[in-house]
Amino acid sequence: MSARTKKIVAIVAGMLIAGVPMATLNYWLDGFVERQGQNEIDSAARRTIALVDYRVGLAVTALDDLAARGVASCRADHLDALRNANFSTGAIKEFSILAPNGRTLCSDLGTHPGERVVLATQGITARPDAVLELIRIGETSKFIRVRRAALTGENILAAVIPADLLVPRTNSRGGLMSVHARMVMRNGTFVSDVGPVSDTDSRLSSTRTSDLYGMTVETSVRRVAFATDYQDLQTLGFFFTGFLAVALFAVVILFPKREPDNPVAELERALEAGEFVPYYQPVVDITNGRVRGAEVLMRWRKPDGTVLAPASFIPLAESSGLILDMTRALMRSVRDEMGAAVAERPFLRIGFNLAARHFMNEEIVSDVREIFEGSPVRLSQIVLEVTERQSLDSLTSARRVIAALQGLGIKVAIDDIGAGHAGLSYMLKLGVDIIKIDKMFIDALDHENSSMTIIETLVDLARNMRMDIVAEGVENFEQVVALRERGIRSAQGYVFAPPLPGASFLELLAAIDPQSGPVSSGVDRSGGLIALGARASAA
C-alpha cells in the first residue's frame, strides 16, 4: 500500500471512529441535561438550608450568651452588651429587648427602634423557649427575628436577621445565582427569594426543609437554560467528524510540534495525586522553650522525591483559583496526620495560610466547619492567617468572613504585618486575634533602631487591643533575647527548627510533651527547645 493510500485510509478511519460516538450522542445528552439541571438545583437548595441553619444558629447562640449574662433590660450596660454582641456576630442587623407583649423597648441601635410588624410566627422544635418571627420594618423590608426569654424579669431577648441574607446571592462558583430559590416559613408565608423565576410547566425543581428551624426552600430552573447547552453540544457533535479528519491529516502530513505542557493542568494532576503535603514550622514560647503550635506550610513532593518550596507554585495556584481546593486538601491532610497528637495537647494551635480569594465570601467558613467538626482537632485550636502581602478586594467582606470564623471559635491572624498593602489599618479594621511581625523587622534588629521602635509599637498596640503577637523568621539567640525583653512570648524561625515533615514534627512533640498536660518548668524533655530557651535566658 502506497504512502498516499495509507494517509487516505487513516483519515477515513478517523471519520468512521468519530461516527460511533455520534450515533449515541443525542441519547446520552438527554439524560445528561436532566442530571445536570437536577444536580444544580439540589446543590442550591442544600446551600440555602445550610446558610439558614448557620446564621439562625449564630443568633440563637448569641441570645443564649446574652441571657446567661443576665441581659434583660434597656440599662446602659445591657445596651453595651447588645452592641458588643452585634459587632462580634456576622449577619445580624440588631439585638433588642422586647416587652412581654412583643413591643420593642430598645435595641443596640438605641432606645427608639421604631415599629415592627409581625407577619408570621413559628416555634423551634428543639428549643421550646425560642421562636422565629417574620417581621416587617418600614414599608417593605422583611427580617427574621429570633426571640427567647431572658433569664431574669419578664422581658424578651431578640436578634434580627435581614431575610435576604438567608438566601445565597451567588452560586458555588462565585457567580450570580442562575437558579431561582424561594424561601417560606412552615405555614407557607413568603420570606425571600433570589434568581430568575421559572415557568411552572417547564422547569426542574427541588425542595428542602431545615430540620432545625422549619424553613423550607424551593429551588427551580428553566429546562430551556440547559437545552441551550444541549444544542451547543449537539452542534459540536456534527462537526466532530470533520474536525477529527482534519486533525488526523495534520498529524500525518504536517507533523506539528507538540504543545507545551499546561502548568495549571500539572497542578491539577498533582492535587489529584496528593502530591501537595503539609510541613510544620514550630511556634515556640520563648519564655520556656515549649512548642505552642505550628504554622502549616505547603510543599510539592514530586514522584521522584523532589520537594518544591511554595514560591514555585503558590502564585500560579492563587491566580488560577486552585488555591481553594489545595487549601481544603491540606487541611484534610493535617486533620488526618495530626488529629490524635493535637487532641492530646489542647494548648497547641495549628495555623493555615489563606489567600485573599478566601475572604471574598463565607465558603471558607463552611469548609473549615465541614473538615474539622467531629474530628480530634478542636475548632478553637485552628488559626487562619491572612497575609498582608496580598490586597483584599473588600475589607467589609473580609471582616464579615473573619467574624463568622471567630464565631466558630477559630483564631484569625494577620501574617507579615508591616510589610504589605495596608499597614496598621488591617489591625484596626479586620478585628483579628493575632498579629505576626514580618521577618524583615526581625532581621534589622541588630542594625536599625527603627525596627526596634516598630516592634515596640506593635507590641503596645497588640496589648491594648488584646491581641496575641508572634515574631517570624527568628534566626539567632540575640534576636530571641531582644524580643523577649520587649514582652513577646511566641516566635518561629530557623533558630528553633525549619519547617518539618509530619513524622518529624510528631517526634518533636513526643520528645517535648510525651504526655498530655503541662510540662514542668525546668525539666528538659524538649529535645533541645527548652534547653535553647534556657541558654537564651542566660545570654
Residue 345 phi, psi (nearest 5) = -130, 80
Question: Looking at the structure, do residues 445 and 509 belong to the same domain, yes or no?
Answer: yes
How many independent structural domains does the chain possess?
Answer: 2
Question: Looking at the structure, do residues 331 and 373 belong to the same domain, yes or no?
Answer: yes
CATH number for the domain spanning 442: value is: 3.20.20.450
Asked, for residue 503, whether it belongs to a domain, the answer is yes
Question: Looking at the structure, do residues 373 and 249 belong to the same domain, yes or no?
Answer: no
Residue 423: pLDDT over 70:
no
Question: Grid coordinates in use for 106?
Answer: 430598645
Task: Give buried/exposed letters for 450-462 (b at 16+ CB in 10 A, else e).
Answer: ebeebbeebbebb
Q: Is 76 exposed, middle or buried (0-12, 13-18, 19+ CB in 10 A)?
A: exposed
pLDDT range class, residue 526, cuts 50, 70, 90: very low
- Amino acid identity for residue 20 in this structure: V
Asked, for residue 480, whether it belongs to a domain, the answer is yes
Asked, for residue 333, whether it belongs to a domain, the answer is yes
First to last CA, the chain: 88
Closest by CA to 499, choosing from 351, 304, 336, 364, is 351
Question: Looking at the structure, do residues 251 and 286 belong to the same domain, yes or no?
Answer: no
Q: What is the CA radius of gyration of the chain?
A: 29
**pLDDT at res. 176:** 73
Query: Each residue of 176-197: pLDDT tens digit?
Result: 777 889 999 999 999 999 888 7
Question: Looking at the structure, do residues 234 and 376 belong to the same domain, yes or no?
Answer: no
Lowest mean pLDDT across 62-66, 154-158, 236-240, 478-482: 236-240
Query: Each residue of 505-523: pLDDT tens digit?
Result: 999 998 888 854 443 333 3
CB of 118 within 8 A of CB of 105? no
Residue 32: pLDDT over 60:
yes
Residue 30: pLDDT over 70:
no
pLDDT range class, residue 200, cuts 50, 70, 90: low
**228 contacts: CB under 8 Å, gap ≥ 6:** none
Question: Looking at the structure, do residues 228 and 313 belong to the same domain, yes or no?
Answer: no
At which residue does the C-alpha cell 413568603 appear?
Answer: 190
Question: Looking at the structure, do residues 236 and 277 belong to the same domain, yes or no?
Answer: no
Query: Each residue of 450-499: pLDDT tens digit?
Result: 778 888 888 888 888 888 999 999 998 988 998 998 889 999 999 999 99
pLDDT range class, residue 417, cuts 50, 70, 90: confident
Residue 216: pLDDT over 50:
yes
Question: Looking at the structure, do residues 248 and 302 belong to the same domain, yes or no?
Answer: no
Q: Give the Å distances, CA to CA, from 270 to 109, 304, 314.
A: 52, 13, 13
Collapse the DSSP code of 491 into the 3-class scheme (helix H, G, I; strand E, B; otherwise coil) and give the result.
strand
Question: Grid coordinates in use for 238?
Answer: 456534527
Domain that holds residue 69: 1-164+223-258
Asked, for residue 200, whether it belongs to a domain, the answer is no
Asked, for residue 186, whether it belongs to a domain, the answer is no
**pLDDT at res. 531:** 43
**pLDDT at res. 231:** 58
Asked, for residue 176, whether it belongs to a domain, the answer is no
Quote the CA–CA distance of 22 and 287 in Å, as a whole number: 72
CB of 328 within 8 A of CB of 365? no
Question: Looking at the structure, do residues 232 and 316 belong to the same domain, yes or no?
Answer: no
Quote the CA–CA distance of 496 and 537 in Å, as a whole number: 15
Mean pLDDT along residues 41-45? 88
Question: Looking at the structure, do residues 252 and 340 belong to the same domain, yes or no?
Answer: no
Closest by CA to 424, choosing from 433, 435, 410, 411, is 435
Asked, for residue 218, whether it belongs to a domain, the answer is no
Closest by CA to 420, choosing from 356, 375, 473, is 356
Residue 150: pLDDT over 90:
no
Question: Looking at the structure, do residues 445 and 474 belong to the same domain, yes or no?
Answer: yes
Question: Looking at the structure, do residues 239 and 361 belong to the same domain, yes or no?
Answer: no
Of 258, 282, 304, the position where a domain reaches its end is: 258
Query: Each residue of 244-283: pLDDT tens digit?
Result: 556 655 655 554 444 446 888 899 999 999 999 999 999 9
